[in-house]
Amino acid sequence: MRFRHKAAALAATLALPLAGLVGLASPAQAATSATATFAKTSDWGTGFGGSWTVKNTGTTSLSSWTVEWDFPTGTKVTSAWDATVTNSGDHWTAKNVGWNGTLAPGASVSFGFNGSGPGSPSNCKINGGSCDGTSVPGDAAPSAPGTPTASNITDTSVKLSWSAATDDKGVKNYDVLRDGAKVATVTGTTYTDTGLAKGTDYSYTVQARDTADQTGPVSGAVKVRTTGDNGGEPGPGGKVNLGYFTEWGVYARNYHVKNLVTSGSASKITHINYAFGNVKNGQCTVDDTFAAYEKAYTADQSVSGVADTWDQPLRGNFNQLRQLKAKYPHIKVLYSFGGWTYSGGFGQAAQNAAAFAKSCKAVVEDPRWADVFDGIDIDWEYPNACGATCDTSGSAAFKNLSQALRAEFGPNYLVTAAISGDGTTGGKLDAADYGGAAQYLDWYNVMTYDYFGTWAATGPTAPHSPLTSYPGIPTAGFTSADAIAKLKSKGVPAAKLLLGIGFYGRGWTGVTQSAPGGTATGAAPGTYDAGFEDYKVLKNSCPVTGTVGGTAYAHCGNQWWSYDTPSTIAGKMSWAKNQGLGGAFFWEFSGDTANGELVGAISNGLT
């Protein structure tokens, strides 16, 4: 899978009440008489400037004030002014100096500091009460209830039970959340949810509320599948139509989850692979936390049409995917780990496959977004072979990793893998036990693209995604048909193979010959990378002039490009159905036109 360098997230100066950082709810009445608001005034990478503003919101004067907060390990105050700042470990305390302790009703005062490290304050208190002026001092929010258990599952209902939460003043009731949305408030510790769809997956969590109406953290999630046949199949003609959504696409490409709605693509796909999680120290981890779950969306950018707020527990791509699934319940989302850039960590992961699988499930099932993901995709480029780095973990490592993932995730999660499309003898598909691993996986995304490109700077020019061979192909076996045939010969069922489609082209410059096989002087210019361009650009900038091997090419001026079109995709889908394949997948959404031209071609072709 391609993974180009992503843009860094831009840090914005925010002035937010600290309650927003700790998720405090608004109780029935306020009892504090002051608020404290934090703002990051500057950021220079290794450090930052911060400012606190203390305001008397009561009706009588304050004679002194004390602000307390926690920093994550590695973040600290290096200097401060207009307050006396001390710490005990990661807990920090700021007290007024002699001249600014007295505050009349409605008056405010600020103090500042310089800090080092990446963290932000949390768990703020002002004079022992909440910094937002709404919580009753000493009245803690309730604890998280126990993870619900499911019983009495039918076609249309499920009974949920959970262990009680605790609270210093007592628990009043519980909110029951289905797929992140509240469906009921109950006083006991059981609830029967009805009116569900047959054969459908749901995720449930529970949240306690105390007598002051404060809500505590949500419980762990339980996944439930109702009985019966929902009458549906994976997609058109029972086939999978899966697209990759890139985490970093929200930056330079300005491509967001809502684009799947406005393009019409959301109604035509069956699955999304969210790319990519990282693999570090033998474990799965979130890569870009800002894009994944911190970035705030305005109403016009949001799938739901509702703006993110400063105090909501989940934002970013994950929350937008949650909203997409609410709007299009048929879509399943998998968290994809690895890719070209992050595959170097799989070798270490394979040394303790069980521990790796456990770490992956902890990320996929994080309580903040457990309802978003329906499975995991592993994009290891390449087991026991070379990609950006070379792996020497042995031919059994990939099978062992797949087995461990299935054991950890169980039968109700999707577990898939993106694999090489190298159909050559002794090539990458022969380096690992893909046949043996298939029993643990729902399907393979076979990367039947990027066979040829400007890593051969002077050519010969050749289509990067040929379906079949043709006279003069530079490398025998570098075709979709060869890759699929090899995997079938290894015992992989055809229904577990998805054909890969690239929503982009690869091209050379300095080319005088229109037909494939010409010489070049180097890579053609591209918007993001030399030798690479999106279909949505190429269809107009360098229209198709011919086809070869079941795909298209274009010669315009001195440039030569190859890419798939709706017409060639139709041919590839017809071939995939004749081969009995499970469907198709593509890299990636943002290369398509604004009206989802290529997604539609795959959907129509699989019908």
Q: Binning pLDDT at 50, 70 and 90, where does residue 233 land? A: very low
Clarify whether residues 49 and 191 are in a common domain: no
HSE, side-chain direction, 13 A CA sphere, residue 429? 30
- The pLDDT score that the predictor gives to residue 170 is 87
Q: Binning pLDDT at 50, 70 and 90, where does residue 134 land? A: low
Clarify whether residues 577 and 458 are in a common domain: yes
List, as one string, the DSSP characters of 137-191. Answer: TT-PPPPPPPPPEEES--SS-EEEE-PPP--SS-EEEEEEEETTEEEEEESSSEE
d(CA 78, CA 217): 33
Is 70 exceeded by the pLDDT of residue 25? Answer: no
Buried b (16+ CB within 10 A) or exposed e, 180-204: beeeeeeeebebebeebeeebbbbb
Instruction: Please indicate whether residue 597 is annotated as part of the active site.
Output: no
Query: Do 51 and 112 contact (CB within 8 A), yes or no?
Result: yes
Read off the pLDDT of each residue in 329-343 and give the average, rounded to a whole number: 96
Q: Binning pLDDT at 50, 70 and 90, where does residue 229 land? A: low
Q: What are phi and psi of 376, to 5 degrees?
A: -135, 145
Residue 193 belongs to domain spanning? 149-225
> Which of 189, 206, 225 represents a domain boundary (last residue)?
225
> Which of 72, 100, 130 represents a domain boundary (last residue)?
130
Read off the pLDDT of each residue in 51-64 and give the average, rounded to a whole number: 86
Is 50 exceeded by the pLDDT of residue 530? Answer: yes
What residue type is 581 in one-letter code? L
Winning range, highest mean pLDDT, from 28-42, 115-129, 408-422: 408-422
Instruction: Report how many domains make up the chain.
Output: 3
Clarify whether residues 69 and 157 are in a common domain: no
Q: Flag the least confident range among 116-130, 283-297, 350-364.
A: 116-130
CATH number at residue 207: 2.60.40.10
Clarify whether residues 272 and 410 are in a common domain: yes
Is 60 exceeded by the pLDDT of residue 157? Answer: yes
Share of the chain above pLDDT 70, in %: 92
- The pLDDT score that the predictor gives to residue 377 is 98
pTM for this model (two decimals):
0.67
Is 264 part of any domain? Answer: yes
Of residues 132 and 405, the one with the higher pLDDT is 405
CA angle 249, 390, 340 (to 5 degrees): 10
> Which of 181, 203, 225 represents a domain boundary (last residue)?
225
Determine which one of 381, 408, 533, 597 is catalytic. 381
Read off the pLDDT of each residue in 233-255 and give the average, rounded to a whole number: 87
Q: Flag the least confident range among 157-161, 428-432, 438-442, 542-546.
A: 157-161
Of residues 99 and 461, the one with the higher pLDDT is 461
The pair of structure tokens assigned to 549 is 């091997």
Query: Could you report the per-residue pLDDT of 531-587, keeping only the tens digit for each?
Result: 999 999 999 999 999 999 999 999 999 999 999 999 999 999 999 999 999 999 999
Clarify whether residues 248 and 162 are in a common domain: no
